[in-house]
Chains A and B, each alone.
Chain A
Amino acid sequence: GNSVTQMEGPVTLSEEAFLTINCTYTATGYPSLFWYVQYPGEGLQLLLKATKADDKGSNKGFEATYRKETTSFHLEKGSVQVSDSAVYFCALSDRGNAGKSTFGDGTTLTVKP
């Protein structure tokens, strides 16, 4: 079956530091890949997505590139802010599997001033 493995947290960074959260996946077909963010007490929000190999998703300074050869979709940001503190989820959606989505376990990011 499909699976998503993401970097274990928690991750603690100082403001303006560089962020990488690793995500690798296993899928039988050609999935779409997503990063979602969850702020305390809220539901998940889509952060960015990529639907095919070599696509780069970007939003709010975050980026991730769909790498088919390494089955990865690592999340990066050049300079984090305190307001980026949240839980980040990597996910895939497999159209060939009735569109079922598979989520990673989430990585908690805390950014300190």
Chain B
Amino acid sequence: NAGVMQNPRHLVRRRGQEARLRCSPMKGHSHVYWYRQLPEEGLKFMVYLQKENIIDESGMPKERFSAEFPKEGPSILRIQQVVRGDSAAYFCASSPSTGDEQYFGPGTRLTVT
């Protein structure tokens, strides 16, 4: 039973490029969460999705960031026109239902040069 998978594990982008981060939740999980972790800081909630729907995006910047979780395929966190401040580890988590514990992926470490 594979865990939460994220790819790529490491992503380097130049300022102004687009970054696409993918997350495949655990089998049977329809709830996906995205978090950002800056160096030496805690975990900050970004967005919560449930198949094809955004439930809560209160932690996601209004501009340049978007997320989706299509009926088929992985969840995608998209960052357009990246800036140096976007450099961070981005973690995806999934759960089988609302309020359950979350299972985390290994993260994607984004570096903007």
Chain A contact residues, CB within 8 Å of chain B: 32, 34, 36, 42-46, 49, 89, 93-95, 98-106
Contact = CB atoms under 8 A, between A and B. Distances in A.
A46 B104 CA distance: 9
A46 B99 contact: no
**Chain A contact residues: helix, strand, loop or mixed:** strand
Contact of A101 (B33, B97, B103, B106): B33
Which bracket fits the contact residues of B?
20 to 34
Nearest to B103: A46
A6 to B, nearest CB: 9
Contacts of B105: 43
16 contacts: A32-B99, A34-B101, A43-B4, A43-B91, A89-B42, A93-B100, A93-B102, A95-B99, A98-B98, A100-B48, A101-B33, A103-B43, A104-B42, A105-B41, A106-B41, A106-B42
Given A42-B107, A99-B95, 16 more contacts: A32-B100, A34-B101, A36-B104, A43-B104, A43-B106, A93-B100, A93-B102, A95-B98, A98-B98, A99-B48, A99-B98, A101-B33, A101-B45, A102-B45, A103-B35, A103-B42
